[in-house]
Structure 1
Amino acid sequence: MKKLLLAAVAALTATAALAEYPEKPVTIVVPFAAGGPTDKVARDLAEALRKPLGATIIIENVGGAGGTLGHTKVAKAANDGYTLLLAHIGMSTAPALYRNLQYKTLDDFEYLGMVNEVPMTLIGRSTLPANNFAELVKWMEANKGKINLANAGLGAASHLCGLLFQQSMKVDMTTVPYKGTGPAMTDLLGGQVDLMCDQTTNTTGQIESGKVKAFAVTTTKRLSTPALAKLPTLEESGVKGFNVTIWHGMYAPKGTPKPVLDKVNAALKVALKDPDFIKRQEALGAVVITDNRTNGADHKKFVEAEINKWGPIIKAAGQYAD
C-alpha cells in the first residue's frame, strides 16, 4: 500500500512538473559556429518560438566534426525538454560519413518537426565557355578528367550536392574540399576551380552580380526568387530524379516526456506560421515547411528516407571521416 501511495505521489508530482514546463530557459544547440546559415535559422526560429513556448530561448553553438559534436551533446543531455537541437541535412548523412558516431540518429532522439528547406544552385566560374546547362554538358564531355568541383568540406551541403551531381551525370571530377564556403567561393570567383553546387543563401548574391554563371537549381520546381526565377531545374534539363534541398529540423533527447514534446511541437507549428519568421526565411531563399513533416513522426520518416538516399551515394564515393 505504501509503495502504491509513493508511486501515485511521484506520478502526480511529475504531472505537475510537466504542466509547468517550461519553468526556466530552453537551450537550442546549433551544431555549427555562430554566423552560418544554420545559426541564422536557429536565431530566427528562437525569436518566433519565445511567445508560443512561453520561455526564454538560448542559442548554444557547439561546432566541430561536421555537426556531430553538437548532435552528440543533445543525444546525451538530460531528457527534460530544456536542451533541444536544431540541425540540418547532416542528421541523415552523418551515419554514412562518420564511422564512429557516439549516437544513433533514429534511436537516440525524439523528433519534433521539420522547419525549412533551402534550395541549391549549380554555378560555375565566370570564364567558363558554357552559358546554359546544355552547353555545360558538352563542355564537361569535352573536358573529362580536367574538371574541378569545389565544396565547403566533408559533409557540407556543397559536398553532398556535388557527389549526387557527379553520380547523376556519370562524369568523374576532381573534388576540391575547402574549410568552409567562403574560401571555396573565393577560388571559384578567381577561376581556380570550375564548378560548385551550393545553397541559395550563399550563391544568390554572386549570381545577381554576374560574378558566377548559374546553370540550374536542384529543386523539382523552378524558384520564384527574382534572381533565380529563369534558371531551369536539373530535372527539366534532363537529369532525372535530381532533387536536393538543405533542410532543418528540431530534436530532443530520447525519452523526453510526451507532454513536453507536445508542447514544443505545438509551439513550433505556431512559430512556422509567424509572418516575420516566414519573411526572414524567404530572404535567405528558404521555404518554411507547412506540410505533415512538421509532425515529429512524419519528420522521422523523412529523415529515414534521407539516410537511405544518401548512404549509398556517400559509400560509393568512398569518402569517410573517422
Structure 2
Amino acid sequence: MQAFLKGATVQTSRPQKDKAAAGPGTEKKAKAVPWVEKYRPKCIDDVAFQEEVVAVLKKSVEGADLPNLLFYGPPGTGKTSTILAAARELYGPQLYRQRVLELNASDERGIQVVRQKVKNFAQLTVAGSRQDGKPCPPFKIIILDEADSMTGPAQAALRRTMEKESRTTRFCLICNYISRIIEPLTSRCSKFRFKPLSNQIQEERLLDICEKESLKYSKESIAALVAVSEGDLRKAITFLQSAARLNMDREITESAIIEIAGVVPPKMIDSLLQICLSGTFEKLEVAVRNMVDEGYAATQILGQLHEAVIEHDLSDQQKSVLTEKMAVVSKCLSDGADEYLQMLSLCSVIMQQASQHN
C-alpha cells in the first residue's frame, strides 16, 4: 500500500515540476500586449486631436481639482485613454490603483452595483501624499465607461450618490450617445464632445507605430487603414497589428488591409453599381450571388453601396428614392431577412431608377 502511495505522489508531483519549468516561458508570452494598449497615451499631452478637453484637464491636473466629467463621441477617439492618463498624472503610479475605480459595460451595472460597489467606494475618505512629493488631490475618481448602457433606475441612483459624495469623489461618465444619459446626470457634469479623428492625425499616429515596430508599408496601405477605420483609431491600430502578423517579413499592402477589415473591394462595388446602371438583370443576379457567396456581409455591401450612390452622378430625386430603399433594406437585414434577396431587391431598384431616367 505504501509503495502504491509513493508511486502516486511521484506521479502527481511531475506535472507540478513541469509547470514550474514552463513558468518563465509562459510569463514571457503573457507580457505581449495588443498594440492598442501598448500605444495608449500615457499622459494628457499624448492625446491626439482633442484640444479643448486636453486644455481643461491640464489646468485641472495642475490645480489638483477636477469637476465631474461627461465624455461623449464616436468609439476609438480617446475618451477612456484621456481620463486614464489624467488619473495617472493626478495620483502617480503608486496611488492610482487605490484611488480609481473603473467600471465597464461588461460589468453588471444595474441599480444594485450603484448602491453597493460605487456607493461603498465613493464613501471611503482619502488621505496621504504621493511618494514623489507632488500634491495629491483629496478625492477619488470613479470612471463609468459606456454609461449609456446603464439602466434608468441605476442612473437615477447614481445622481444621488454623485450629489452626496461630492467632497470625496469625482465621477467621469463615458458614452457614445449623450441622449441616453438622463438630464439630472448631464447637468452635474462638464460635457466634452470627442470628435472623430482627422485623417492626417490618424496617419501620423499609424506611421509612428510603423516606425517603432519596424514595419514595411506602402502609402496606399496607410490610406486604406484610415479609410476603413472611419475615424476610429483603435480599429486602425488593431487592423495594422493584424496585417503586420499576416505579412511578417513582407510589405503591408492595401489588399491585405481590405481583406483583414472585411471590407468589400472598391472595384467590386463599382462593378456592381455599373451593372445596376447599365447591365441586365441576369448579370446583376450573378454579381449579387457571387458577393454574398464570398462571405461579404450584406450590411457592409449596403454601407459601401450607399457611399458609391451618393458620390455618383445621379439626380437628387434618384438618390432620395435609393436611400429610402436602403433604409428599408437595412431594417429588414436587422430583422434577420435573407441577405441575397434584400441585396437583389435594392440593386433592382437602382436598375429601375437608371432605366427610367435614361
Instruction: Report the TM-score, using the length of structure 2 for normalisation.
Output: 0.24
Q: Which has the higher helix share?
A: 2
Higher relative contact order (CA 8 A, sep 6+): 1
